[in-house]
Amino acid sequence: MIHRWIRGLLILSALIICVMILIGLKLSVKGHQGPTTAHFNGQRFYNRPHTPQHSFSTILKWQLTRSISPWVLPTHSKADHRPVRVTQAVCITALSHASFLIQTPQATLITDPIWSMRASPLTWAGPKRVTPPPIPFETLPPIDYVLISHNHYDSLDLKTLQRLKHAHHPVFVAGLGNEHLLTQKHITPVVTLDWWDHVPHSKLPIQFMPAQHFSGRGLFDRNNTLWGGFLIQSPIGSIYFAGDTGLGPFIDQIKSRIGAIKIALLPIGAYEPRYIMKPMHMNPEESVKTFKKLNPTFAMGMHFDTFEGLADEAQYQAIKDLQTALKKYQINPHLFIAPQPGQRRCWPIHTL
């Protein structure tokens, strides 16, 4: 009897593993094909310098020992306005997580848009949205460009991208290799870029920037598409959207190659535990160090307090840690804020 029970348990375990492998295979996406470069070996992209890839046992240990306090619905989660086209200003609206609406007289852009309730391939499991989108999708102004930092589910949300395609017909911009998934889902036109490349024939200069992260949507496609940030040359100066990233030497490269940056949009969340997250996600203190290096006139934090379960820090901990870091480095807290959902800042364009 015991032997039958053990045999049945082994068969069930084998079936579960097979199902997981099949799901992982189905979710895996086709990657970039092209010549080798300093960060592409012909099959996979990698960070410069290389960052460690965690073993399965390390990830399993983290998942089995996680302890996360329940999150609550935020008290402020709606924008106080409906954004419209701008003519004499540059405006940035925080849409929660890594989504920003960037409005200039030349074009309107949106970064890493996600209106879905989960950052997951599943509707019933995975990181769950606690902070609702502050702006109803239907009230978005006409969108010209959609900037996608990488293909993780909280940054490349197919349902939202398909809605944008049908409602606005924008140009979708992402790192190398992402064109396969997007065109397969009829999300076009799409422009894919290597680090430092520019979008050709764009309404305003848009450049893909290095970052320290990784990519993958299934079990067998890790790092076969490129990740990064974006630099937008606006009438008031450069706007830097860092995307998902850890702290790396690329920040110094950006500073030396680009020069002055007017506004920086920097990640401050999903950073605990550090033994897992440090290579791929800045913590608030590292974001403040990045602020000091780039020396923008203003910065907004992102990638925090939206999806429960992405990492282990408590709700609102990123905001507290940002305030502590700003005080430590003697930076005016009004120059680097953790924006409320829907919070908007505008900079007038001064003309002669």
Segment 54-94, tens digit of pLDDT:
887 888 889 888 888 889 988 766 776 778 778 899 999 99
Instruction: Indicate the pTM of the whole model.
Output: 0.92
Residues with Cβ within 8 Å of residue 345, at least 6 apart in sequence: 91, 92, 298, 300
pLDDT > 50? residue 16 = no
**Whether the Cβ atoms of residue 158 and residue 112 lie closer than 8 Å to each other:** no
Radius of gyration of the chain, Cα coordinates, nearest whole angstrom: 21
The b/e string for 266-293 (b: 16+ C-beta within 10 A; e otherwise) is: bbbbbbbeeebbbbbbbbbbbbbbbbee
Residue with tokens 């409906």: 82
Q: Alpha-carbon torsion 128, 302, 326, 285, what sign?
A: positive
Give the list of residues 6+ apart from residue 216 with CB closer than 8 angstroms, or none.
28, 151, 152, 222, 223, 224
- Segment 159-173 mean pLDDT: 99
Fold held by 89-348? Metallo-beta-lactamase; Chain A (3.60.15)
Mean of pLDDT values over 288-295: 98
Q: What is the pLDDT of residue 58?
A: 85
Domain spans of the chain, in order of start: 89-348
In the chain, what percentage of residues exceed pLDDT 70?
Answer: 90
Among 91, 66, 71, which residue's Cα sits nearest to residue 81? 91
pLDDT tens by residue, 275-291: 999 999 999 999 999 99
The pLDDT value recorded for residue 140 is 97
